[in-house]
Amino acid sequence: MAVYRWQLITHHIVLPQNTERYLFIIEPRLDLTFTDKLFLTTFVQYNDRYDNVNLNARFQWRYKPASDFFIVYTENYFAEVFTSKNRALVLKFTYWLNL
Mapped onto helix, strand or coil, the DSSP state of residue 96 is coil
Give residue 73's pLDDT: 98
Name the nearest CA neighbour of 40 among 60, 62, 64.
60
The structural domains of the chain, with segments of one domain joined by +, span 2-93
Other C-beta atoms closer than 10 Å to the C-beta of 75 total: 15
Tens-digit pLDDT profile for residues 48-88:
778 889 999 999 999 999 999 999 999 999 988 889 999 99
Q: State the pTM of this model.
A: 0.76
